[in-house]
Amino acid sequence: MKLSYILTIPALLSSCSSVCEAFSVVPHKSTTTTTTQLQAEMGRREMVTAAAISAGVLLLPVEAAFAEYVPKVQDMVQIYFLGTSMDKLVVKLQDPTQIETVLASVKSFNKDPTFYNGYAKNFILKTVKKGADSDPRVGYIRQASTLIGSLEGVLQGGDALMNEKSTTAEAIARVKKAQILIAKFIDECGIQDEKLSAFVASHKETTGSKETKKRK
């Protein structure tokens, strides 16, 4: 239900004008009568003008002042790029000659491991007034970032039970799980875009469609 205006601008101006007149100088028959009247009139006009400006601001509809932000594709672009870059990472992991290159990339990622967490939180903050830290969608990106960062230990042979083949398989599994989480984030944020939808569709068997409908 829309809130109606409590006071119209003409009524507010009339009220302010009355207040101004109550404080204006009563003219006396003297040489300063004209000057006194002019000063009083100027003072009254300034107050009425100020009241009109204030009224224009204060009487805006509540909906205009607190309009909900509608997310745009540009707001999601870094998360999308992170997800698609994982496709290239999987291809490189399958090539033994590219393992060192992948490891270098992961080390670079781990220099600022919370970057995408903050990016996701900022995105959610645009559409919710509080609770962004505990929003499950931000949690998806936190988990995805942790998985990507953990590749450094896997590729460096942190698990003595892993051989080269199992190390590669484990690394690929973690990357794909990270992509699933990224797809869930995109899916549940509800932005309509062909590229975003295509990325989500490639992981449709594990994305949270029910949660998406609930948020919409």
Are 9 and 55 spatial neighbours (Cβ–Cβ below 8 Å)? Answer: yes
pLDDT value of residue 158: 62
CA dihedral 7, 10, 14, 15 (to 10 degrees): 10
pLDDT of 138-166, one tens digit each? 999 999 999 999 999 999 876 555 666 78
pLDDT of 36-90, one tens digit each? 554 444 455 554 444 444 444 444 444 444 457 788 889 889 999 999 999 999 9
Please tell me the pTM assigned to this model.
0.63
Residue 181 to residues 33, 86, 168, Cα–Cα distance (Å): 80, 12, 20
pLDDT of 88-108, one tens digit each? 999 999 998 999 999 999 999
